[in-house]
Amino acid sequence: MSDHTLVDTYETRYARLQEVVAQLETGDLPLDQTLTLYEEGSRLAAECQALLDAAELRVRLLQTGDTTPDLEG
Amino acid sequence: MQALGVAQLNGYLRELLESDEIVRNIWIAGEISEFRRYTSGHCYFTLKEDGATIRGVMWRSYADRQTSLPQIGDAVFAHGKISIYEARGELQLVVDSIVPAGVGLLNARFEELKIRLAAEGLFHPERKRPLPTLPRRIGIVTSPQAAALQDMLNVLRRRCPLVEVLISPCVVQGDRAPDSIVEALYAIYSSDVDMIILARGGGSIEDLWCFNDEAVARAVFASPVPLITGVGHETDTTIVDLVADLRAPTPSVAAELAVPDLADLAAQVADARARLRLAVGADLAARRAIIQMAARRIEFAAPLRRIGQDRQRIDDLARRLSARIGRATDLRHARLRGISAQLAALSPYATLARGYAVVRHIASGLVLTSPDQAAPGERLRITLRQGDLLADAVIPIPEEKCG
């Protein structure tokens, strides 16, 4: 069972995006850091959006041993 | 052969009764023929039916949980176990719940279980856990063939396809249902999910009965992660609904409640992006303002202004210098003219003007100062004031005659 899900990927990026925004909003950063953060934030936002756009529900059936009924039936 | 003591016999009979699968957990239907509540709080009563009677007791802790106590003559269902009162060797019913027979046995069982589990704290509001705002992986415990599952998957696909779904299949109807549901629940508990939906589509009260099963209720209570129930229709409330962290009226609504709308997530991302731009824009504007202010200050302090002034002074000096040089040149010209005049006064041509002449050999150009310098017939040039005259020497005049 994969422990890393799409939501994990999304949440990691979204959390970092929020952090970057908060850092920029408090201000008082050197210019190069401001620009670096801005670039990082823009990249994160684009990645989050891409994840949302491309998401497709992943459905699996837990194998309990006895029966494996047909899901699409 | 050794005789058994009375106490030993009664003790043995009690163990025998209390270990019996049927009479240790039984519902009895009958009419209350005697009922007394003692000051201790315990209730003693007799149930009769069709000419038979049995004595019963309900301990204070259970009597306190009853919404109401029965009256003599009431037709009731009593739930409990059969035991033996060893002091008298009498059979007795030890009950934990007495409900009016008018509600039916299923309801009676429902009410009894509800009272008992409530007393144990299975429905406590403080125990209800909040749902994760964005679950990573949702476990769905339901029948894989049912329309309810497709309904839920459709809702999840439409609302939040970012999540993963793990289905733990079970039977949701019939005698096997409770065991199957419990098994499916524990299977999903050992999987990596952070939320569970236990669901079943609509059906008759008997169809849904497995969700009023004590073992199922206890299994739901044991869920390590928040669990939502979506059982039957809006009007059906089962025991597991009361145990669950959240009760949804239907499977589809359970799926709705389980996940956020993707559009809301997208709006959050767009908002973060806007805040990002705004923050950086404000930062850059502040920097620009600082630079502009500095530029103005530099302009005031700058040497440019002084350079302009200096340039003017230099132009002025240059003008004065060239004026002075001009005057000096004029003076020199004047002096030169004076000298030229003097020079002209000293020139032999001036003497010519007074009537003298200069004689020179044509050939050599040498000036003659003595007659013997010229041979007879030699051509000479005589320079007068107005011009030159050519002449030939005739006879040299002796020097003594001339002097």
Determine, yes or no, domain membership for A70: no
| Same-domain status, B172 and B60 | no
- The model's pTM is 0.62
Cα A33–chain centre separation? 23
- B interface residues, A as partner, C-beta within 8 Å: 134-137, 139, 144-145, 149, 153, 156-157, 160-169, 183-184, 187-188, 191-192, 262, 265-266, 268-270, 272-273, 275-276, 279-280, 282-283, 286-287
Q: Rounded distance, CA B236 to CA B196, Å?
A: 20
- Residue range of the domain that includes B365: 352-402
Q: Is the pLDDT of residue B173 over 80?
A: yes
- pLDDT, mean over chain B: 88
Confidence of residue A68 (pLDDT cuts 50, 70, 90): very low
Q: Is the pLDDT of residue B91 over 60?
A: yes
| B232, B200 contact by CB (below 8 A) | yes
For residue B75, give the amino acid letter. Answer: A
Determine, yes or no, domain membership for B128: no
- Residue range of the domain that includes A38: 6-53
Residue that finishes a domain, picked among B222, B239, B260:
B260
Determine, yes or no, domain membership for A66: no
| Same-domain status, B272 and B233 | no
| Same-domain status, B279 and B359 | no
| B228, B251 contact by CB (below 8 A) | no
**Nearest-5° angle of CA B59, CA B61, CA B62?**
70
Determine, yes or no, domain membership for B333: no
Q: Rounded distance, CA B255 to CA B154, Å?
A: 9
| Same-domain status, B188 and B107 | no
Neighbours of A18 (CB within 10 A): 15
Say if the Cβ atoms of A24 and B279 lie within 8 Å.
Answer: yes
Q: Rounded distance, CA B82 to CA B162, Å?
A: 55
Confidence of residue B400 (pLDDT cuts 50, 70, 90): low
Q: How many domains, chain B? A: 4
| Same-domain status, B12 and B116 | yes
Confidence of residue A73 (pLDDT cuts 50, 70, 90): very low
Residue with token string 């176990």: B81
Question: For residue B165, what are the CA distances in angstroms to B116, B136, B371?
Answer: 34, 9, 149
Q: Is the pLDDT of residue B377 over 50?
A: yes
Determine, yes or no, domain membership for B104: yes
Determine, yes or no, domain membership for A41: yes
Sort out which chain B residues have CB atoms less than 8 A from A59's CB and list them. 153, 164-165, 167
- Among the partner-chain residues B149, B169, B269, the one whose CB lies closest to the CB of A49 is B269
Q: How many domains, chain A? A: 1
The answer for residues whose C-beta is within 8 angstroms of residue B260's C-beta and 6 or more apart is B133, B134, B159, B160
pLDDT, mean of residues B28-56: 92
Q: Encode pLDDT of B320-373 as tens digits.
A: 888 888 888 888 888 888 888 887 777 777 777 778 888 888 888 888 888 878
Determine, yes or no, domain membership for A61: no
| Same-domain status, B273 and B224 | no
Say if the Cβ atoms of B134 and A51 lie within 8 Å.
Answer: no
Residue that finishes a domain, picked among B243, B260, B277:
B260
- Among the partner-chain residues B139, B162, B268, the one whose CB lies closest to the CB of A7 is B162
pLDDT, mean of residues B102-125: 86
Per-residue tokens: B110: 């429902």
Chain B interface test: which of A5, A16, A34, A44 (most B C-beta within 10 Å): A5
Q: Rounded distance, CA B142 to CA B230, Å?
A: 10
At B397 the pLDDT is 62
| Same-domain status, B213 and B280 | no
- Inter-chain Cβ pairs, chain A and chain B, closer than 8 A: 123
Phi-psi region of B18 (alpha: psi -120 to 50; beta: other; left: phi over 0): alpha
Residue that finishes a domain, picked among B235, B260, B285:
B260
